[in-house]
Amino acid sequence: MKRQVSESSLLNPGSFKRILFIGDITGESALEALERQLPLWRTHWRPDFVVVNAENLAVTGHEASSGFGMTPAGLARLFGLGVDLVTGGNHSWDGPYAAEVHRDMRVVRPLNYSAHAPGRGAGIIKREGFHLGVVNLVSRSALSQADAPLDALERQLQIWGDSVDAVVVDFHGESVAEKLSLAFAVDGQVAAVLGTHTHVPTLDTRVLPGGTAYVSDVGMTGPGGGLQGIAPGPFVESLRSRLPATLPMTLATGTTEFGAVLVTLSASGRTALSINRLDAAHGDVRLWQGAGAVAEREMEPEREWAKGAELRVLEGRNDPC
């Protein structure tokens, strides 16, 4: 049964670690909006770790249909905000900078994909003696030649063993049933399974019986005036004509949607106490708690976030960390 958590309790973090996860950043306008929004969230919620999915950070082709991906300049802006680690998905290797961006130890890509593709699929962030493991998975619904995600995850968990204090999984795919099945399969072994890819935020934030926080899709951080961040014109044209669109595919306009969740870990640090979906400004919606209670403690002193965390990222599927 879910119990609502007061914002005053969540604002007293004490020794409970928090992970802010931001979904699918889509385009330049989203990055600019995040540059304004993330400092507010950091001041208000004081997360210990910040992880973002940024596979759609930039349009790297002549239009959106020819590729998204990441650029070194865009990543530098994210890391300048204090982002600790960047995850990806089916667009991880789009664009001319794919090999370069995946040489950065703070960028991971789907673990359950070819060992010959650039990058690594898992990373460990270290801050104040706490080791947070982050695993990036992709479903075959998003990347048809991917390997079985659960097999890859279970191998990674076995390799890490007790070398990490908690694990967060970004599962990039379309199927709610697949994402939730995987979450139940590792319930209690990981702190969170957070869905990405569809760009549509779901309302099913929950903590599973074993202590794993879950949401089917975090949603995108991107322009809300279209279809999943894309202008509606070519989609409407194809729907009407049932032929390939002639209109160019461009990013949408409109107010930025913020897809983000805050996961608060339990006192043990290995499982989750709560998962909270954040909106713009400070974020004050759907604050739900799993087993346990949030202690009332004095506010921590302001932290120097720009310095970031120490990060260790080793190789992916065939040479995991």
Domains and CATH numbers, the chain: 3-223+254-289 (3.60.21.10)
Determine the pLDDT at residue 64.
59
Q: Is 232 left (phi over 0), alpha (psi -120 to 50) or beta?
A: alpha
Per cent of the chain over pLDDT 90 is 62
199 catalytic? Reply is no
pLDDT at 53: 96
Across residues 202-207, what is the average pLDDT? 96
Whole-number pLDDT of residue 14:
56
What per-residue confidence (pLDDT) applies to 11? 55
pLDDT at 137 over 50: yes
Separation CA 187–CA 213 (nearest Å): 9
Question: How far is the first Cα of the chain from the last one, in angstroms, to the nearest whole number?
Answer: 36
Per-residue pLDDT band at 10 (split at 50, 70, 90): low
* Residue 320 tokens, joined: 């995991």
Mean pLDDT of 187-195: 98
**pLDDT tens for residues 223-245?**
888 888 788 888 899 999 999 88
Task: Record the pTM.
Answer: 0.85
Cβ distance 303 to 127 under 8 Å? Answer: no
Rounded CA gap, 253 and 287, in Å? 29
215 touches 277 (CB < 8 A): yes
Catalytic residue among 44, 91, 131, 172: 91
